[in-house]
Structures are given as structure tokens and as C-alpha cells.
């Protein structure tokens, strides 16, 4: 259903946000590069 797809999309986005946050800690310039 659409709800399942939307939930999966939010979950994937959350994982991506966490990855970007970790990259910010490892490589400071990543934050300003976005």
C-alpha cells in the first residue's frame, strides 16, 4: 500500500540522515558542501 511505501521512504531517509550526520563528524567540510 501507499502507507507502506511512505513508511519505507521515511525509514530510508532516516538512515541517510544518520549517514550524513556521521560524515559531518568525520569530515567537517561535508556540512558546508551540502
Q: What is the pLDDT of residue 24?
A: 82
This prediction has a pTM of: 0.40
Q: What angle do CA 14, 7, 12 make, to 5 degrees?
A: 30
**Rounded distance between C-alpha atoms, residue 13 and residue 16, angstroms:** 5
Handedness of CA 28, 29, 32, 34 (dihedral sign): negative
pLDDT tens digits for 1-34?
Answer: 678 877 777 777 788 888 888 888 887 665 565 5
Q: What is the pLDDT of residue 13?
A: 72
Per-domain residue ranges for the chain?
2-33
* CB contact at 8 A, 24 and 30: yes
Q: What is the pLDDT of residue 20?
A: 84
Q: What is the pLDDT of residue 25?
A: 84
**Rounded distance between C-alpha atoms, residue 18 and residue 15, angstroms:** 5
Amino acid at each position: 500500500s501507499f502507507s507502506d511505501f511512505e513508511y519505507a521512504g521515511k525509514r530510508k531517509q532516516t538512515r541517510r540522515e544518520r549517514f550524513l550526520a556521521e560524515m559531518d563528524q568525520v569530515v567537517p567540510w561535508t556540512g558546508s558542501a551540502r
